[in-house]
Structure 1
Amino acid sequence: MKKIFAKIASITATSAVLSVAIAAGSNNSAQAIDFNFNWLGNGGYSATGSFSYDEATAPTIISESGSGATNFLKSLNVSFLDPSKNLLGTYNTVAGGVSQSSFFAFNFDTSTKKLFGPLDVAGGTGVIGEYFFQGTVGDSLQLRQDVDQQGTSTLVDQNSGSIQVSKVPEPASMLGLVALAMLGAGSTLKKKQASC
């Protein structure tokens, strides 16, 4: 029995040290924080994407627009799917802190973790037929397809402005959960071995 407790204590100590080391290592670099977002239109079309920014330097409200260097956003990508879950297109609207679209609009409250106001992501890079996602969060969001790069587009799907945002778990948090699961599995295995 003492050996089991010694092994459990050893696993716990190792996991704790590893978690602290990872957390300390991430504190020395930029505090990148990642979020996922999901949208579902009334007709079954959907958008799924992610964005990131430096948590250490970002203000409470992040507002970005237009092409060129962004102020705080590091990346933003989005993929569109039809009702049968076939991929319509994937767009890297912001890569390496640079927006690719003059139509780009993005507003995010870092304290409430919610998108708000005008939103325009995806197309806008000069390719006829590209998809883009625009509107006002909480009012109306539309998936559209460009027809001529002259401002003409067709409505593909829309909803009442609802979009979900979720934070991506940090690696140190995930490691802690894995360590806890391993501890539980090891304890269960030892109990089974002891009862045999």
Structure 2
Amino acid sequence: MKSICNQIQTTVTIAAVASMATIINLPSANAASYRLDWTGNQGYSAQGSFSYDNALQGSIVTKDQLDRFSISFFDPQGKLLQSFKYNSRNVSSIANFNFDTVTASVLQTGNFDTSNGFDLGSNFNTDVVGFFFYTYQNPDVGLSTATIFLKDDLSPEVCNTFPNCRLDNGGQLTATLIPEPGTLLGLLMVGSFSRLLKKKPASI
């Protein structure tokens, strides 16, 4: 009887593993998705996400090539300040975003209006309120290297109390790959079946 139970358990396990393998090898959605994170020197932060067609892998992806893009800003206590969700079919001509798919990094070493920088949030040219999130470089005012700024007004980047100008500056905008749903499911199933295989059969 014990041998029969073992055979049944083995058969069920093999079938389940085979099903799992099928799920894992299903063609994945044709998009790469990333999470965005930033924290400034004063504790303000940003979180967001974006995706693009996998066919663009190996190149620099620009804002016009994104399938979706969203970003939200928070104060040091974690309170939501403002969110932006960009329509990929009608992205503001002022918005600027460039992502290196090879290094999985957001380009941020240049000015806000260059291919190595970014300009997100409110539009400087049309909005006088809202949150501006951008890279800025100007040796004439003491910014020899590009710095990330989060502001809610049009005051100068370098103030009398720099770097404590409003609202925040510094830090790096990082991108982290979001695993595809099929991959996550596969990993969960692998863990479950590993525990099942290690479990001793009950005595009859």
Query: Does the pair score TM above 0.5?
Result: yes
Equivalent in the alignment of 2:61: 62
How far residue 2 of structure 1 moved from its aligned partner, in angstroms, is 2.2
Q: How does 1:112-191 map to 2 (within 5 A)?
A: 112-116=103-107, 117-124=116-123, 126-135=126-135, 139-146=146-153, 155-160=166-171, 162-187=172-197, 190-191=199-200
Counterpart CA distance in 2 for 1:25 and 1:85 is 34
How far residue 187 of structure 1 moved from its aligned partner, in angstroms, is 3.5
8 Å Cα contact 1:104/1:119 also seen in 2: yes
Larger Rg: 2
Counterpart CA distance in 2 for 1:25 and 1:82 is 37
- Structure 2: which 5+ residue stretches go unaligned? 1-5, 108-115, 138-144, 158-164
**TM-score, normalisation: structure 1:** 0.78
How far residue 16 of structure 1 moved from its aligned partner, in angstroms, is 1.2
Equivalent in the alignment of 2:22: 17
Aligned positions, number: 176
Change (3 A) 1:40 1:25: closer
Counterpart CA distance in 2 for 1:140 and 1:178 is 41
How far residue 51 of structure 1 moved from its aligned partner, in angstroms, is 1.0
Does residue 90 in structure 1 map to residue 83 in structure 2? yes
What is the aligned-residue RMSD (CA, Å)?
A: 2.7
Per-residue CA deviations over 1:91-134 (Å, capped at 9, x if unaligned) read 11x223321x3421111111111111211112128454211210
Higher relative contact order (CA 8 A, sep 6+): 2
Counterpart CA distance in 2 for 1:36 and 1:98 is 21
Per-residue CA deviations over 1:129-148 (Å, capped at 9, x if unaligned) read 2112100598310101136x
Per-residue CA deviations over 1:1-54 (Å, capped at 9, x if unaligned) read 22222221111011112223xx3364xxxx211111100000000011111111
Change (3 A) 1:58 1:136: farther
Counterpart CA distance in 1 for 2:147 and 2:203 is 61
Equivalent in the alignment of 1:104: 95
Change (3 A) 1:135 1:83: same
**Identity of matched residues, %:** 28
**TM-score, normalisation: structure 2:** 0.75
8 Å Cα contact 1:133/1:141 also seen in 2: yes
Which has more strand, going by share of residues? 1
Structure 1 SS opposite 2:102: coil
8 Å Cα contact 2:58/2:102 also seen in 1: no
